[in-house]
Amino acid sequence: MTSTEPASLYLHPDRNFAMELVRATEAAAIRAVPWIGRGDKLGADGAAVDAMRAFLGTVSFDGLVVIGEGEKDAAPMLFNGERVGNGRGPACDIAVDPIDGTSLTAAGRQNAISVIAVSDRGTMLDASSVFYMDKIVTGPEGHGIIDIRRPIADNIHALAKAKNMDVGDMRIAVLDRPRHEQLIAEIRASGAGTRLMSDGDVAGGINAARYDSRIDMCVGIGGSPEGITTACAIKAIGGFMQTRMAPKDDAERARGEAAGLDCDRVYEADDLVSGGNTFFVATGVTDGGLLAGPRKIGRSHIRTESIILRSKSGTIRRITADHLVSKWLE
């Protein structure tokens, strides 16, 4: 089969494809280890990008990077429009973030992860012309209950009722940013508690949708690339997600509209990623609530922890792998 022949991911062995993807996030996480806590986020990101690109080049697929990282902050990047894979096999859209949480990595803080999300070609929204979007993510209880256009207190009370919880027991994740001061105040005024994130809202969104998490909702303005990536995971978990574009000025709004984005529209997860067969793969870079970061096992091995989510089957797989240190940290 050539890259010009129509193909869907489900026509190929799912487990093998997922395992190829996870090798790329494992490589990025391991290569970032020497940079953890060193204060150099660009150095960490550069090491992770190089490792991820090298391993993606061995995967049998024709990947088009629709959501890349780097344009926003001049970091080294797997750029939008870059082709990855060996060009053979299914044609796919791909979202990559070699380190979601470069600042976390540089500071040695928790919750940095390496991420790849994949869907069939032409199914992933390119939101790169507007850097930020407003998001709300919950578990499946949010369907038919939550509306991003409503006041946050109304949504919190509605979700608490749907989950048969006291509002005082609700925990709402939000990025700790000056732009969220009013939002944080409204969350606390509702009676719910906050879980402030210094960075890494992909993990925050996934934790809000997980059935075994202590986080009930993730809200606020974060990166548009991270929103598309999160949508791939939410579709696999069966969670709820709504977003609105958040252009910073009229010029960015105009660029977004010229690129086909509707800055007044509420986008659901299926609008962000329309394919019914998506993969989300992540490996921990630093320890966090979703994944543990790489750690030495004795003197000879380094252990990684990863997660694979697939929307078509609705499966969540966790993978722990031990790697020879001599192969990675030479």
127 belongs to a structural domain:
no
10 is in an annotated binding site: no
223 is in an annotated binding site: yes
Domain co-membership, 219 together with 318: no
Q: Are residues 67 and 138 in the same domain?
A: no
Q: How many domains does the chain have?
A: 2
State the Cα–Cα distance between residues 241 and 238, nearest whole angstrom: 10
Q: In terms of domains, do 164 and 261 share one?
A: yes
Q: Give domain status of residue 198, yes or no.
A: yes
What CA–CA distance (Å, rounded) separates 233 from 300? 33
Is 7 contained in some domain?
no
Are both 140 and 253 inside the same structural domain? Answer: yes
User: Is 247 in the same domain as 177?
Assistant: yes
Do 305 and 240 lie in one domain? The reply is: no
9, part of any domain: no
Task: Give the CATH number for residue 257.
Answer: 3.40.190.90
177 carries a ligand binding annotation: yes
Query: Does a structural domain hold residue 3?
Result: no
Q: Are residues 207 and 111 in the same domain?
A: no
Q: Shortest CA distance to 271 belongs to which of 313, 228, 210?
A: 228
Give the separation between CA 143 and CA 162, rounded to whole angstroms. Answer: 10
User: Could you tell me the residue range of the domain that residue 47 belongs to?
Assistant: 17-122+277-327
Token output for 115 = 């991420």
**Are 231 and 301 part of one and the same domain?**
no
Question: Which pLDDT tens digits describe the chain residue by residue (330 residues)?
Answer: 344 444 444 444 344 577 789 999 999 999 999 999 999 998 999 999 999 988 888 888 888 899 886 454 454 567 778 888 888 888 899 999 999 999 999 999 999 999 999 999 999 999 889 999 999 999 999 999 999 999 999 999 999 999 999 999 999 999 999 999 999 999 999 999 999 998 888 999 999 999 889 999 999 999 998 999 999 999 999 999 999 999 999 999 999 999 999 999 999 999 999 978 899 999 999 999 899 999 999 888 999 999 999 888 888 899 999 999 887 655
Q: Are residue 153 and residue 94 in the same domain, yes or no?
A: no
Burial class (CB in 10 A: 0-12, 13-18, 19+), 127: buried
Per-residue tokens: 142:
């949010």
H or E stretch including 208?
helix 201-209
Asked whether residue 85 is marked as a ligand-binding residue, the answer is: no
Q: Residues 84, 149: one domain?
A: no
Ligand-binding site membership of 229 (annotated): no
Q: Where does a domain end: 233, 249, 272?
A: 272
Taking the model in full, what pTM does it have? 0.88
Domain final position from 272, 287, 317 = 272
3-state secondary structure string, 272-286? HECCCCCEEEEEECC
Distance between CA atoms of residues 240 and 146, nearest Å: 8
Q: Which tokens in the block code for residue 148?
A: 């991003």
Residue 211 assigned ligand-binding role: no
Q: Is 178 annotated as a binding residue?
A: yes
Distance CA 294, CA 33 (A): 7
166 labelled binding-site residue: no
The answer to whether residue 185 is domain-embedded is yes
- Do the domain assignments include residue 10? no
268 is in an annotated binding site: no
* Residue 160 sits in the same domain as residue 37: no
Q: What letter would DSSP give residue 216?
A: -
N residues, the chain: 330
Strand ranges across the sheet with 217-223: 193-197, 171-175, 217-223, 132-138, 240-245, 267-268
**Does 201 show up as a binding residue in the annotation?**
yes
253 annotated as belonging to a binding site for a ligand:
no
Asked if residue 49 is part of any domain, the answer here is yes
Residues 148 and 248 in one domain: yes
Q: For residue 316, what is the domain's CATH number? A: 3.30.540.10
20 marked as part of a ligand binding site: no
Domain boundary among 256, 272, 288: 272
Q: Phi/psi at 233 (nearest 5 deg)? A: -70, -40
69 is in an annotated binding site: yes
Phi, psi of 133 (to 5 degrees): -140, 150
CA distances from 263 to 105, 122, 127 (A): 32, 21, 11
Distance CA 33, CA 37 (A): 9
Residue 103 in contact with residue 199, Cβ under 8 Å?
Answer: yes
